[in-house]
Amino acid sequence: MELLPVATKFKITITIGIVIILLGVLSLYFFINPSEFNFFPKCPLYSYTGIYCAGCGSQRAIHQIVNGNIITGIRHNYLLILVFGVLSYKAGLYVLNNVYNKTYNDLLHKPIATKIILILVLIFWALRNINVFPFTELAP
């Protein structure tokens, strides 16, 4: 007498595994400040060129956010607002489609959504490297 199909058990196992890994990484960022330890990898683009990439400051931002300093964290990398929005949307869609057995299409799989996100990332990347106020506020 099998209660759940094998595919469902596999999805549950993978989901639990992802949650455990995510909590582990977040706890690492909670206890260790990337600004104070060389344990965390440095941005290769910034190390070699001095140019900030779109992800520069993300580690410090995550550390600040998980420690409750939301505004300070977001100021390290404003692009995290987009990342959290996309991740929240994907998590909500996953719950609707798998837990509640609904079938909703993923709007992020449309080419226009990909293009809009790419354009936003590239604009942010370019603007944060302009060394004139107010663009200096975008630097990590």
* Contact present, 108 and 89 (Cβ < 8 Å): yes
Integer Cα distance of 32 and 59 in angstroms: 10
Integer Cα distance of 101 and 99 in angstroms: 6
- pLDDT in tens for each of the 140 residues of the chain? 456 677 677 878 888 898 899 999 889 889 988 888 888 888 899 989 999 999 999 999 999 999 999 999 999 999 999 999 999 999 889 888 877 777 888 899 899 999 999 999 999 999 999 999 988 889 88
In angstroms, the first-to-last Cα distance of the chain is 56
- What is the predicted pLDDT for the residue at 3? 67
Which sequence spans correspond to the domains of the chain?
Answer: 1-32, 54-140
Integer Cα distance of 47 and 42 in angstroms: 7
Sign (positive/negative) of CA torsion 28, 30, 31, 32? positive
What is the pTM (predicted TM-score) of this model?
Answer: 0.77
Integer Cα distance of 17 and 6 in angstroms: 16
- What is the predicted pLDDT for the residue at 1? 46
The 3-state DSSP composition of the chain as helix, strand, coil percent (nearest 5) reads 65, 0, 35
Integer Cα distance of 1 and 132 in angstroms: 68
